[in-house]
Amino acid sequence: MSYTIEKRDKGYLLFTITRNEKRNAINYDVMNGIGAAIKRASEDDSKALIITGEGDQAFCSGGDLSVFHLLHTKEEAYSMLSKMAAILYSLLTLPIPTIALINGSSIGGGCELAAACDFRLARNGIKAGFVQGKQAITTGWGGGAILAEKLPAANAMKMLMDAELQTAEELKASGFIDNLFEKDALKSCEAYLEKILAKDLRVLKSYKRIWTRKWEESKLRERIEEEVRNCALLWESDAHHDYVNRFMNKD
């Protein structure tokens, strides 16, 4: 199993990617695990869903290229991309607050996962970025469309087009990170959520519905689908396959 799901005493559900040796990269097992956590959180009385990564080196390093390098055609890529995009849209529209607890570096698809959460908390000193542009592809799990909903246009556009890692302080200034912490990640997250977790679940769901309704009306799901298809086209390009080959053959 590449993940754990725990119900904590304070009333939230904790999902942890447990692939520290792979810098908590996402494979199909992790995808299914996120889906399972979303399902459980939507069915029980959890007041929040927190997503984090094992250890203190990486929150999530994106898609596991040791798995996904086997995808060559746009059809093969689309199957994987659309699966994860559907999961992230379910996460985005989960009727309770969601938190990305960024305890280490967050790269590429890891930032897409974080963007789909309502709040992003990061440890001082981490770096994160939407680096997909360096791989000759775009965000392919819906992260670009989601980011456009959450950040000012210029901030989101520059972050995506630069395709560079940024410091936690820079990401907070741009609006991507909501709060910084120093040491104990979970305790810091619990402190950030203390007042939220004290509220009636029906209140939290009613407020969350304001945003999910907005995203439904603005046809965000359709925009994500367009993003997935565009990424799938780029995925089968020579430029992307050259990048993947260099990555797989590096020392």
CATH number for the domain that contains residue 149:
3.90.226.10
Query: Residue 96 has what pLDDT?
Result: 98
Position 226 in a domain: no
**Inter-residue contact 24 to 53 (CB < 8 Å):** yes
**Inter-residue contact 102 to 120 (CB < 8 Å):** yes
**Inter-residue contact 92 to 221 (CB < 8 Å):** no
Which of 65-69, 159-163, 214-218 is the least confident region? 65-69
Position 234 in a domain: no
Position 227 in a domain: no
Query: Residue 38 has what pLDDT?
Result: 98
Cα 195 versus chain centre, distance? 24
Q: C-alpha distances in angstroms, 28 versus 63, 211, 227?
A: 9, 29, 20
Both tokens of 153, joined, read 């246009």
Query: At 251, is the pLDDT very low, low, confident or very high (cuts 50, 70, 90)?
Result: low
Position 171 in a domain: yes
Residues whose CB falls within 8 Å of the CB of residue 206, separated by 6 or more in sequence, listed in order: none
Position 196 in a domain: no
Position 221 in a domain: no
Total domains, the chain: 1
Query: At 250, is the pLDDT very low, low, confident or very high (cuts 50, 70, 90)?
Result: confident
pTM above threshold 0.95: yes
- Which of the 8 DSSP states describes residue 54? S
Both tokens of 53, joined, read 């990564």
Beta bridge partners of 17: 3, 53
Position 200 in a domain: no
pLDDT greater than 70 at residue 19: yes
- Which of the 8 DSSP states describes residue 63? B
pLDDT digits (tens, 9 = 90+) for 128-150: 999 999 999 999 999 999 999 99
Percentage with pLDDT > 70 across the chain: 100
Query: Residue 200 has what pLDDT?
Result: 97
Query: Residue 219 has what pLDDT?
Result: 97
Give the domain extent around 159.
Answer: 3-183
Position 159 in a domain: yes
Indicate the burial class of 249 (C-beta count within 10 angstroms; 0-12, 13-18, 19 or more): exposed
- When pLDDT is averaged across residues 118-136 and rounded to a whole number, the result is 97
**Inter-residue contact 60 to 17 (CB < 8 Å):** yes
